[in-house]
Amino acid sequence: MRKKALFVVLDGCPVSYIKKENTPYLYSLMSKHGCRLWSSQTFASQVEIFTGLKPYRTDTFVDWFYSPETSPYRIFRPFLNNIALSKRDKTRNLILKCMTLYGGHRIDPLNIPSYLLPNFDFNRSMFSYYRSQVYRLPPHLFHTLDAYGIDPVMLHFAELDTLGHVYSPRSREVKDYMKMADHKIRQLLKKADYRLTVILSDHGMVEITDYVDLWESLSQLNLMLGRDYSVFLNSPMARFWVHTEKSRNNLINFLSELGHGHIISDKEKVERSLPQSKKFGEIIFWMDRGVHISPDFYHFKKLKGMHGYLKPEAVPFIIPGYSLKDGYLADVTPTILDALDLPIGERDGKSLIR
């Protein structure tokens, strides 16, 4: 009979969520069999976790990038008027339906202003990753598990991320949810008989202390969005592509004086294993820890928690029965394969088993 490996994923759980008083079971597991992982600054941390490869190797960083030639929305270019960054309406849902029928992928236009949509494409490397997870293809960890007769079972505490965003990481709602998760995990692990159990988180959650309305500030510039430059507003960073030389200087001056963040250098991208390609942004302005761009292309409401800041945040990684040393997200897959005595293959990470 095939064996099973259990993956318990606490979505958006920094190490600081695990406390002796509130989550006694996870606290005791963490002290005996856990370690801290330094979370990557990409928005695709699961790729790093389940492939053991750094973002520059998998070309995963953010979901959208600048590519007017390949944008699935380019066919709508003549129809998309100057619609401002406004609340999601019926038109936007109609665009999504047309897109799904036309492209075969459900690529949500989010709240990207309509006249900018034909400039952006969805990162196909993310589709490749999702395919590798569903069909158990390399370099996904599940491919190796499947090949050696082990079926992965995933328990995903997804609401934790939403609670952190909406109520803040220090809220009563987050504490209560963690208490519940601690209890459920204890019950589950008592009864279950898995070949291996893994408990981990994909990224942390930082309390928001300041908001910047970048959209409004950009509209004050003597530049025309879409003609002089394009911008994509993620929550903790803004990515720019310049179309005229004057806009490059204007934007750099504007961002340098804005405060609350800085333009990241190529050296910083290398240090964080991020892809260098300009398709992800010719100028990337990363907000300081706790500063949230509001509104952005994902949210209109002001959030109270956010992740994806440049300064790394530690997340828990626990394998009951093993002793682990601290590491990085890319070390998860090699560690699990090592624990199961399976070949690690070509990965960027290394096993953390002591």
Binding residues for Zn ion, rule: CB under 5 A, are 161
User: Looking at beta carbons, which residue is closest to Zn ion?
Assistant: 161
Residue 228 CB, nearest distance to Zn ion (Å)? Answer: 32
Residue 164 CB, nearest distance to Zn ion (Å)? Answer: 7
Backbone angles phi, psi at 230, to 5 degrees: -120, 150
Using the structure block, give the residue that is written with the tokens 């394969």. Answer: 337
174, 214 contact by CB (below 8 A): no
Closer Cβ to Zn ion, 22 or 162, answer by number:
162
H-run or E-run covering 251:
helix 245-258
Closer Cβ to Zn ion, 308 or 349, answer by number:
308
Residue 201 CB, nearest distance to Zn ion (Å)? Answer: 11
Closer Cβ to Zn ion, 49 or 336, answer by number:
49
Closer Cβ to Zn ion, 161 or 182, answer by number:
161
188, 155 contact by CB (below 8 A): yes
Residue 168 CB, nearest distance to Zn ion (Å)? Answer: 13
Closer Cβ to Zn ion, 139 or 295, answer by number:
295
For the chain, the helix, strand and coil percentages under 3-state DSSP, each to the nearest 5: 40, 20, 40
Q: What beta strand segments (E) does 183-298 contain? A: 196-201, 206-207, 210-212, 229-233, 237-242, 261-263, 283-287, 291-293
Residue 106 CB, nearest distance to Zn ion (Å)? Answer: 19
What tokens were used for 45?
């941390």
Residue 86 CB, nearest distance to Zn ion (Å)? Answer: 23
Residue 161 CB, nearest distance to Zn ion (Å)? Answer: 4
Closer Cβ to Zn ion, 208 or 255, answer by number:
208
Bond from prior residue into 295 cis (ω within 30 degrees of 0): yes
198, 7 contact by CB (below 8 A): yes
Closer Cβ to Zn ion, 72 or 295, answer by number:
295
How far is the C-alpha of 52 from the C-alpha of 40, rounded, in Å? 12
Radius of gyration of the chain, Cα coordinates, nearest whole angstrom = 21
Q: What beta strand segments (E) does 244-310 contain? A: 261-263, 283-287, 291-293, 305-306
**β 327-328/34-38 pair status:** parallel
